[in-house]
Amino acid sequence: MTRIRLWLTAATVLLASCGNSGAPASDSSKSVVESGDKPQVAGVLNVYSARHYDSDKEMYKQFETETGIKVRFRESGAPELLETMKAEGDASPADVVISSDAGTLYRFEAAGLLQPLQDATLDEKIPEHFRQADGYWYGLARRVRVIAYDPERVTPDEVAHYSDLASPRFKGEVCMRSSTNIYNLSLMGELIGRMGHDAAQAWANGVVANFARPPQGGDITQIEAIAAGECSVALTNHYYYVRLATGSPSEQATAAKVKLSFPEQDTTGTHVNVTGAGVAAHAPHRDNAVKFIEWLASVDGQTWLTGATKEYPMVAGVALPEGLDKLPDFKKSDFPLDELGTHQSEAQEVYDTAGWN
């Protein structure tokens, strides 16, 4: 009987240790605070993030320090996170979803993986243009899609508009990344919304005719190609350039050979997008999720969120990350960010028709 009691006691302890229903489902999930480091008096928060920066891990630690809420996180590409949450269904442990680009956030929203949030603190701090109308997500950092160019081969007036990239003047001189990249899809979404389908198609056709090489690599790859003389113009998000300009000596040398144009200053303004966050549809710790998003809109949160990435803070009064002060003030597009998602399918169709792989 004594052996039976001992076995039953051990089995009960084992089952209890396995019953952590609040933890992310994957073995790849991590905690930024090991067990015993901090009393778990304020509960936990499960973050699903499409970002992949070491600085975010420090950001989670800072949030834990300030709130006592233990952060567990899963990092992966946005498509993988989306499919994971679909598979998890109602049992998903995700509390908060963080992702870049309004087009990606739209995908989570359209899949029913986010829930609406009406929050006075966030509504006060986040300009209306940079949050989803029904509160499914809030933009927390801004990024702009600019034209990188070789100042030895191109004058600023030749890259004053996105349409210039389709000019015969740049035959064989344009480098681009894949059309399936969300940054390019969202830019095309705005072009479709402003110009109409036919004009957007003509633009894509013209750009493809100017390719120096097949689409490849990421935004930094395009900047490096310009510096190496492989092409003279390309599209990039601003922060990739700033990271190079504030990076290692070799990275700074690359950036020194390239300049940025902020297109459409005499028309609609440069295309602006966001990094944003939303509360997961089945968040088991909803209150902590709201606290976290509110914290990301605080001075501390904004500083952690943008300091290493070199994005523009969303909240007024937050200091710019190093390097951003070297960029000029510029006119920003006011195109509705919700429409970047609704135009995604058409945008991909335009690119496919043009032969932009």
Q: Are 154 and 185 in the same domain?
A: yes
User: What percentage of the chain has pLDDT greater than the value 90?
Assistant: 88
pLDDT of residue 42: 79
What pLDDT, on the 0 to 100 scale, is given for residue 41? 52
Does one domain contain both 201 and 227? yes
Residues 185, 170, single domain; the answer is yes
Question: Which residues touch 72 (CB under 8 Å, ≥6 apart)?
Answer: 23, 24, 29, 30, 31, 32, 44, 45, 46, 47
User: Burial code of 339-357, b = ≥16 C-beta within 10 A, e = fewer?
Assistant: bbbebbebbbebbeebebe
For the residues 274-287, what does the mean pLDDT come to?
Answer: 98
In a domain, 22, yes or no: no
**Residue 216 in domain:** yes
* pLDDT (tens digit per residue) in 168-214: 999 999 999 999 999 999 999 999 999 999 999 999 999 999 999 99
47 and 126 share one domain: yes
**Are 340 and 242 members of one domain?**
yes
CA 245 to chain centroid, in Å, comes to: 20
| Residue 51 domain flag | yes
Does pLDDT of 25 surpass 50?
no
d(CA 264, CA 163): 9
Are 181 and 281 in a shared domain? no
Task: Looking at the structure, tell me whether residues 227 and 126 fall in a common domain.
Answer: no
pTM over 0.75: yes
189 and 336 in a single domain? The answer is yes
Residue 9 included in any domain:
no
CATH code of the domain containing 225: 3.40.190.10
**pLDDT above 70 coverage of the chain, percent:** 89
Q: How far is CA 120 from CA 42, 206, 277, 305, in A?
A: 22, 46, 16, 21
Q: State both tokens at 321.
A: 């990350």
Domain count for the chain, please give it. Answer: 2
Domain assignment present for residue 4? The answer is: no
Residue 134 has pLDDT above 60, yes or no: yes
Does residue 196 sit in the same domain as residue 335?
Answer: yes
- What is the domain range of residue 262? 143-271+328-354
Q: In this structure, are 248 and 346 located in the same domain?
A: yes
- pLDDT value at position 85? 98
- Answer whether residue 10 is part of any domain: no
Is the same domain home to 256 and 280? Answer: no
Give domain status of residue 8, yes or no: no
pLDDT in tens, 296-345: 999 999 999 999 999 999 999 999 999 999 999 999 999 999 999 999 99
* Domain contains 310: yes
Provide the pLDDT for residue 10.
35
Distance CA 139, CA 135 (A): 10
Specify whether 218 is located in the same domain as 264. Answer: yes
